[in-house]
């Protein structure tokens, strides 16, 4: 895969815009459509929006951290950027495809690179039936919400909700409750990556629920179906010493 021509995109923070200006002074920016590699400047949220926004181009994206956490980003440096990109390791991810049906009978589809989440919309807890591959596994989860996370997204919201960190090559997804009230001791499940997950909302009028795929939200849903989209590839580039597999492993040993 060629990695010679570059395009630069950046979030709108002053730091990222200053870094963008410096890079464009030093390196040619041929635009995303013509580039071999897209260089994204920002944090993890901007990386997600860049992946979503350039999905149709099927180009590898090399992120450089100009945000806060930067789990999906490489360190920022001006020097030797073409050499770093040529030496970078490729990680290919498959997103989750969410299909959400709302109370009006409309269906909404969206892709999630990190996770698909369902949340209560009001002060009342959500009541959700969970089925895996057509079989009901939990008749009624009373909770603030529940999510399905990919390995790449397992260190994001999933981890904050006390879900497990998943190695990229494990071939599994994390099903994690958010503030579960009943069953109180249920901590979630590990699912095969081919699993088809279905969330059905009990009493959606009294207890309305929204569905979120990364940062795309649909409200007043009655059913949410989630499955890995094996036909969609997302390509990320990482410096060899900080590849995504190593970052996920390191995160499990953070005190």
* Per annotation, catalytic residue among 12, 29, 36, 44: 44
Whether 146 contacts 175, CB under 8 Å: yes
44 tagged catalytic: yes
DSSP state letter for 25:
H
Check if the beta carbon of residue 66 is closer than 8 Å to that of residue 41: yes
- Cα dist. 117→64, 112, 216 in Å? 27, 10, 10
Cβ-proximal residues to 224 (8 Å cutoff; 6+ apart), any chain: 98, 99, 100, 101, 116, 118, 198, 199, 211
CB 117 within 8 A of CB 211: yes
The Cα diameter of the chain in Å comes to 59
How far from chain centre, in Å, is Cα 159? 12
Distance of CA 170 to the CA centre of its chain: 17
Catalytic positions: 44
């Amino acid at each position: 895969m060629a990695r010679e021509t570059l395009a630069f995109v950046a979030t709108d923070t002053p730091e990222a815009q200053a870094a963008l200006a410096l890079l464009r002074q030093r390196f040619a920016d041929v635009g995303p459509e013509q580039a071999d590699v897209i260089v994204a400047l920002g944090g993890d949220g901007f990386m997600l929006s860049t992946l979503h926004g350039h999905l149709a181009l099927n180009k590898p994206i090399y992120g450089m951290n100009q945000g806060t956490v930067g789990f999906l980003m490489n360190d920022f440096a001006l020097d030797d950027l073409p050499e770093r990109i040529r030496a970078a390791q490729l990680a290919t991810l498959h997103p989750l495809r969410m299909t959400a049906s709302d109370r009006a009978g409309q269906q909404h589809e969206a892709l999630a690179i990190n996770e698909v989440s369902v949340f209560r919309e009001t002060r009342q807890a959500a009541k959700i039936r969970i089925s895996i591959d057509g079989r009901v596994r939990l008749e009624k989860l009373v909770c603030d919400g529940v999510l399905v996370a990919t390995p790449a997204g397992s260190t994001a919201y999933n981890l904050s909700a006390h879900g497990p960190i998943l190695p990229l090559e494990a071939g599994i997804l994390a099903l994690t409750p958010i503030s579960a009230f009943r069953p109180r001791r249920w901590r979630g499940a590990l699912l095969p990556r081919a699993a088809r997950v279905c969330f059905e909302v009990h009493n959606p009028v009294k207890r309305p629920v929204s569905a979120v795929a990364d940062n795309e939200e649909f409200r007043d849903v009655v059913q949410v179906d989630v499955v890995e989209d094996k036909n969609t590839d997302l390509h990320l580039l990482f410096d060899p010493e900080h590849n995504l597999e190593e970052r996920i492993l390191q995160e499990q040993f953070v005190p």
